[in-house]
C-alpha cells in the first residue's frame, strides 16, 4: 500500500472557502512534501515540512505535521478557481532519504466560482 | 516544468512495439526519476538514477528499461513485455544534497492502440 494516503479523495468547495486535505503515512520520515498537479500536467512542489517542525506557512498554504500520529494536513485559505487541481503528499522514508519519494493517491480539489 | 522537457507530449503505439520516451534536463541535477500515473491514481516509481551510468529499479520496473549515459538525459523504453502500458509518464529530477524536492517535466501520455 502507499506510504502516503490522502483524505478525502475528492473535495468540492466554493471560491473563498478554505480547503483542508489530510495525509497519513506509515514509516518514520525526515520530511513530508506537498505537490500540486493540474490536469494533464506535471507536478509542482508546494511546500516541505521537516520532521522537527509542527507547522509551516507559505502564502495561502498552511501545513501541519504530527509525527506521533504520522499525519499531515494541507490547508488552502480563501480558495480560488485556479486552485482546482490534485494535491499529493510525498515522503522520503528515513532509510532511503535522498533517493526516492513515495506519493499518496492524491486529493482532487474542485473550487467552484 | 521549466528546465525539464519530455517528448513527445502524446504517443501512440501498436501492441508489440517498443517505444522510447525522452526526458532531458538543463538543471544540472544529478538524480532523475521515471513515474507512471494511471487515471485518478498517484505516482508509481519505475526507475531512478542518482548518477550517470547507474540506475535502480523502482516499484514497477518490469517491462521497462532505461539508460543514463549523460547527466542531462534519462530515456525510458517501454517494451512489448509491459502488459498494460497505456498511462501518463512523468520524469523528475532532484539536485544532490539539500532537500528531497523533485522537479517534474510536463509528462508524456502513451496510448497503446
Between positions 28 and 47 of A, the ones with CB within 8 A of B are 30-31, 33, 35, 40-45
Between positions 54 and 93 of B, the ones with CB within 8 A of A are 56, 58, 88, 90, 92
For B59, name the nearest residue in chain A, comparing CA atoms only: A102
Q: Which of B70, B79, B72 has its CA nearest to residue B46?
A: B79
What is the pLDDT confidence band of residue B58, given thresholds at 50, 70 and 90? very high
pLDDT digits (tens, 9 = 90+) for A10-53: 999 999 999 999 999 988 888 999 999 999 999 999 999 999 99
- Cβ contact, residue pair A44, B102, below 8 Å: no
Residue A94 pLDDT: 66
C-alpha cell at A84: 482546482
Residue B99 pLDDT: 75
Do A111 and A14 touch, CB atoms closer than 8 A? yes
CB atoms within 10 A of CB B62: 10
Closest approach of B41 to chain A, Cα-based (Å)? 5
pLDDT digits (tens, 9 = 90+) for B30-46: 999 999 999 888 999 99
Q: How many CB pairs under 8 A join A and B?
A: 61
Find which of A101, A102, A104 to mutate to test the B interface (most B CBs within 10 Å of its CB): A101
The answer to whether B101 faces chain A, any CB pair under 8 Å, is yes
Q: What element of type H or E holds B97?
A: none
What is the pLDDT confidence band of residue A2, given thresholds at 50, 70 and 90? very low
Amino acid at each position: 500500500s502507499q506510504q502516503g494516503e490522502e483524505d478525502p479523495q475528492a473535495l468540492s468547495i466554493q471560491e473563498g472557502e478554505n480547503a483542508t486535505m489530510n495525509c497519513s503515512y506509515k514509516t518514520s520520515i525526515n520530511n513530508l512534501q506537498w505537490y500540486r498537479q493540474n490536469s494533464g500536467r506535471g507536478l509542482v512542489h508546494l511546500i516541505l515540512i521537516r520532521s522537527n517542525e509542527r507547522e509551516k506557512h507559505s502564502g495561502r498554504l498552511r501545513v501541519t505535521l504530527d509525527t506521533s500520529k504520522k499525519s499531515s494536513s494541507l490547508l488552502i485559505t480563501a480558495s480560488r478557481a485556479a486552485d482546482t487541481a490534485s494535491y499529493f503528499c510525498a515522503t522520503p522514508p528515513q532509510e532511503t532519504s535522498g533517493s526516492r519519494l513515495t506519493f499518496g493517491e492524491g486529493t482532487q480539489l474542485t473550487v467552484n466560482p | 516544468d521549466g528546465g525539464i522537457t519530455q517528448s513527445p507530449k502524446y504517443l501512440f503505439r501498436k501492441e508489440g512495439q517498443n517505444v522510447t520516451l525522452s526526458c532531458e534536463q538543463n538543471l544540472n541535477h544529478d538524480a532523475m526519476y521515471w513515474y507512471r500515473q494511471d487515471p485518478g491514481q498517484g505516482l508509481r516509481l519505475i526507475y531512478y538514477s542518482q548518477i550517470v551510468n547507474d540506475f535502480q529499479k523502482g516499484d514497477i520496473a518490469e517491462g521497462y528499461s532505461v539508460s543514463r549515459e549523460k547527466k542531462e538525459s534519462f530515456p525510458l523504453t517501454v517494451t512489448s513485455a509491459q502488459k498494460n502500458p497505456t498511462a501518463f509518464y512523468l520524469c523528475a529530477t532532484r539536485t544532490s544534497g539539500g532537500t528531497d524536492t523533485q522537479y517534474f517535466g510536463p509528462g508524456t501520455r502513451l496510448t497503446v492502440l
